[in-house]
């Protein structure tokens, strides 16, 4: 559920957007962790998709005013699509669109995904590309984080949240309906691919309850086990046949 304070901010933003865009505003959709009830306070973003009937530079310039307060509260800028683009881009962003479709709350207007046909044709390619990119980035970021317990724990918790979103695509590639919550998605992926779930469970405990390793050595050992599981996921996607 969306927290009361954030709900008030969302209601205010929708009111401002309606005043700004008028009849051009087709939909405002909250998606991701907050829509799924899986957000972590002070760590999760409240992601918004705004659909307009047309988008010109003037439309975007006018959006600056309603976005000022939203950004002051620490939330990211929304993504803007035209209604037509949502249909045309479904095959280009299969992971993102599946995630939006699976966890969304329509705050205003019609549901933009009601008539969008989600294609899995490019799902495997995008999943492997995104997973490999994040794996490479994880290795790079580990170099400076490896000497700091706090930085290493933050790296593991932040990166697992990103990988969990991509694991939904892994499940879809194997014909499984992915859970909405990140933790459930990771557990389902671990079962599917016969991974060791323990590193993931320890990192989720850090994320939810700040249960961190006691020493640098323990944190680095956990990272090594975690990295191995991620590498196995990438390998499994690479070997998936569509």
User: How does pLDDT run across 175-224, given as a tens digit for each residue?
Assistant: 888 887 889 999 999 999 999 999 999 999 998 888 899 999 999 999 99
What predicted TM-score, i.e. pTM, was given to this entire model? 0.64
What phi and psi values does residue 77 have, to the nearest 5 degrees? -65, 145
pLDDT given at position 41: 47
pLDDT given at position 109: 95
Residues of the chain with pLDDT under 70: 1-3, 33-45, 118-121, 242
Closest CA to 156 of 178, 141, 171: 141
pLDDT given at position 40: 45
164 Rama sector, left if φ>0, alpha if ψ -120 to 50, beta otherwise: alpha
Q: Which two tokens stand for residue 132?
A: 């490999």
pLDDT given at position 42: 39
Domains in the chain, CATH or no CATH each? 4-109 (3.30.460.10), 123-238 (1.20.120)
pLDDT given at position 203: 97
């Amino acid at each position: 559920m969306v927290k009361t304070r954030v709900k008030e901010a969302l209601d205010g933003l929708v009111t401002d957007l309606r005043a700004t865009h008028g009849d051009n505003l087709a939909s405002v959709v909250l998606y991701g962790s907050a829509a799924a009830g899986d957000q972590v306070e002070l760590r999760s973003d409240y992601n918004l998709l705004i659909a307009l009937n047309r988008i010109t530079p003037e439309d975007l310039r006018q959006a600056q005013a309603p976005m000022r307060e939203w950004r002051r509260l620490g939330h990211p800028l929304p993504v803007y699509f035209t209604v037509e683009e949502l249909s045309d881009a479904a095959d280009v962003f299969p992971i993102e669109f599946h995630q939006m479709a699976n966890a969304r709350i329509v705050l205003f207007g019609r549901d933009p995904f009601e008539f969008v046909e989600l294609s899995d044709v490019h799902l495997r390619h995008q999943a492997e590309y995104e997973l490999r990119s994040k794996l490479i980035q994880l290795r790079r970021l580990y170099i400076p984080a490896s000497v700091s317990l706090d930085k290493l724990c933050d790296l593991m918790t932040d990166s697992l949240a990103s990988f969990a979103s991509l694991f939904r695509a892994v499940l879809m590639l194997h014909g499984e309906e992915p859970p909405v919550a990140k933790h459930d998605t990771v557990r389902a992926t671990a079962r599917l691919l016969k991974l060791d779930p323990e590193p993931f469970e320890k990192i989720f405990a850090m994320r939810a309850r700040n249960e961190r390793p006691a020493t640098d050595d323990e944190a680095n050992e956990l990272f090594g086990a975690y990295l191995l599981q991620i590498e196995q996921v990438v390998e499994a996607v690479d070997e998936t046949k569509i």
